[in-house]
Amino acid sequence: GQQVQQSPTSLVLQEGENAELQCNFSTSLNSMQWFYQRPGGSLISVFYNPSGTKQSGRLTSTTVIKERRSSLHISSSQITDSGTYLCAMATNAYKVIFGKGTHLHVLP
């Protein structure tokens, strides 16, 4: 079936280091979205990025549709960046499939 693979599963950084999160899709996709979630918290949209590169502050997302992949780059990580980052792909107009997430821990 359709799958979304995220890597790494978990990542531990020292504050100030950069992070690169990857998302790979098993099928062609219409669009994709990155979400952030704190433990016990709701899903917060970070980027809706069907293709190309988008930047917001210290976060940059790049989606390459034909290669079925997307990445999320976090520069100069901060303790408050800790949490789970999930990528999700839409293969048709509405159904979105989520990856298992990357658990990020930023240490002081």
Partner 1 sequence: NAGVIQTPRHKVTGKGQEATLWCEPISGHSAVFWYRQTIVQGLEFLTYFRNQAPIDDSGMPKERFSAQMPNQSHSTLKIQSTQPQDSAVYLCASSLDTSNSDYTFGSGTRLLVI
Q: Is 9 in the site for partner 1 (CB under 8 A)?
A: no
In the complex, least distance from residue 17 CB atom to partner 1, rounded to whole angstroms = 26
Residue 86 touches partner 1, criterion: CB under 8 A: yes
Q: Which C-beta is closer to partner 1: that of 11 or that of 77?
A: 11
**DSSP 3-state of 65:** helix
Residue whose entry in the numeric block shows the structure tokens 């504050």: 15
Task: Evaluate whether 102 touches 11 at the Cβ level (below 8 Å).
Answer: yes
Element (H, E) at 34: strand 31-37
Binding site for partner 1 (CB under 8 A): 30-31, 33, 35, 40-45, 48, 86, 88, 90, 93-101
